[in-house]
Amino acid sequence: MRTAPRLPLATPAAVEVLTRILTQGPIARVEIARKTGLSQAAVTKAVAPLVEAGYVVDAPSARDDTVIGRPVSPLSVVESSVAAIGIKVTPGELFGVVTDLRANIRIARSKTLPDTSPETALDLLAILVGELLAAVETGDSPLSTGTTALAGVGVSVSGDVDATAGVVRHSAFMGWRDLPLGALLHERINLPVVVTNDVRALTVAEHWFGIGVNANSFAIVTIGSGIGCGLYLNGDVVEGAHGVAGEIGHLPLAPENLVCTCGRHGCVETVASSDAILARVREDTGRAELDLAGAIDLAHAGDEQARAAFDRAGQVIGSALAAMVNLAGPELVVIAGEGVADYDLYDHRIRAAFAQHAFGAAADCELTIRSHTFDDWARGAAATVIRSYIRTEPPF
Interface residue list for a second copy (CB under 8 A): 11-13, 16, 36-39, 42, 159-160, 162, 169-170, 216-217, 229, 231, 233-236, 238-248, 250-253, 262, 264-266, 319, 322-332, 356-357, 359-362, 364-365
- Rounded least distance, CB 289 to a second copy, Å: 33
d(CA 248, CA 336): 14
- Rounded least distance, CB 96 to a second copy, Å: 26
Whose Cβ is closer to a second copy: residue 299's or residue 390's? 390
- Rounded least distance, CB 235 to a second copy, Å: 6
Whose Cβ is closer to a second copy: residue 27's or residue 238's? 238
- Rounded least distance, CB 101 to a second copy, Å: 22
Q: Is 392 left (phi over 0), alpha (psi -120 to 50) or beta?
A: left
- Return the beta strands (E) in the chain as ranges: 27-28, 56-58, 74-77, 82-89, 93-99, 105-112, 149-157, 160-162, 167-171, 176-179, 193-197, 218-223, 227-233, 236-237, 332-336, 366-370
- Rounded least distance, CB 67 to a second copy, Å: 24
Q: Give yes or no for a contact between 307 and 348, defined as CB atoms under 8 angstroms apart.
A: no
Residue 303, SS3 per DSSP? coil
Q: Give yes or no for a contact between 143 and 135, defined as CB atoms under 8 angstroms apart.
A: no
Q: Count CB neighbours of 248 within 10 A.
A: 27
For the chain, count helices (H), then strands (E): 12, 16
Q: Which residues pair with 168 in a beta bridge?
A: 161, 179
Whose Cβ is closer to a second copy: residue 357's or residue 379's? 357
- Rounded least distance, CB 135 to a second copy, Å: 36
Whose Cβ is closer to a second copy: residue 195's or residue 298's? 195
d(CA 134, CA 111): 15
Whose Cβ is closer to a second copy: residue 57's or residue 244's? 244
Whose Cβ is closer to a second copy: residue 102's or residue 250's? 250
